């Protein structure tokens, strides 16, 4: 059974426009919280940002991902909690093609992917832990979309705003995002001024 809970809208479009250009390494000067740990990516150096859509799978069941993709909008980031399964890939070539058709920004998974050589060629950044030839199956087990998930030491739910770049992945916190935006903007503006002093 797939439960679809209400999706929360946490930020205005104006606020997300302020979040989008910030760098994770700038934010890392002001907080240690909200950073995803120990994920690799199919597209090193790419930058993505967007609103999270979450899905929690039962161990080994990949079927709910199709329903989760149906819940996304253009620019979203799909976040998949595999319930600890790191040996059975829930994502591969045709999932990425589905995601491209849905126009999402990227995918973050605390588990395995497959078809890695193809995913390198598809223009969709996927963040993952492991690579496996074994895959999930359509087991029709319990799943939840838009609810709380845990990926890389960070708790997400649909409606969170996420940025990812060459240095890491960061989820904004509704409790301090205004302070983080203000401090990060100020630092990046000062750095741009300083950068110009080195130009010949």
Question: Tell me: the pLDDT tens digits for 179-194?
Answer: 999 999 999 999 999 9
Q: Is the pLDDT of residue 164 over 90?
A: yes
Spatial contact of 22 and 163, defined as CB atoms under 8 Å apart: yes
Q: What is the mean pLDDT of residues 36-64?
A: 96
What is the spatial distance between Cα 115 and Cα 188, in angstroms, rounded to a whole number?
38
Question: Which residue range(s) make up the domain with 160?
Answer: 2-197
What is the spatial distance between Cα 65 and Cα 51, in angstroms, rounded to a whole number?
17
Q: Is the pLDDT of residue 199 over 90?
A: no
- List CB contacts of 198: < 8 A, sequence separation 6 or more: none
Q: Is the pLDDT of residue 200 over 90?
A: no
Count of domains for the chain? 1
CATH of the domain at 87: 3.50.30.40
Q: Is the pLDDT of residue 6 over 70?
A: yes
pTM, two decimals, is 0.96
Question: Tell me: the pLDDT tens digits for 55-111?
Answer: 999 999 999 999 999 999 999 999 999 999 999 999 999 999 999 999 999 999 999
């Amino acid at each position: 059974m797939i439960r679809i809970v209400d999706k929360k809208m946490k930020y205005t479009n104006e606020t997300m426009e302020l979040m989008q250009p910030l760098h994770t390494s700038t934010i890392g000067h002001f907080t240690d919280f909200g950073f995803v740990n120990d994920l690799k990516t199919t597209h090193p150096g790419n930058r993505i940002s967007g609103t999270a859509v979450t899905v929690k799978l039962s161990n080994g069941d990949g079927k709910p991902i199709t329903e989760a993709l149906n819940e996304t909008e253009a620019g979203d980031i799909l976040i998949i909690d595999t319930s600890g399964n790191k040996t059975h890939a829930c994502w591969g070539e045709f999932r990425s093609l589905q995601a491209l058709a849905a126009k999402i920004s990227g995918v973050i998974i605390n588990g395995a992917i497959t078809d890695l050589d193809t995913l390198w060629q598809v223009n969709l950044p996927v963040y993952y832990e492991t690579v496996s030839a074994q895959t999930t199956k359509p087991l029709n087990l319990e799943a939840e979309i838009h609810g709380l998930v845990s990926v890389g030491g960070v708790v997400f739910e649909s409606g969170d705003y996420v940025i990812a770049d060459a240095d890491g992945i960061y989820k904004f916190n509704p409790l301090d995002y205004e302070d983080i935006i203000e401090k990060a903007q100020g630092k990046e503006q000062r750095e741009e001024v300083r950068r110009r002093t080195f130009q010949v």
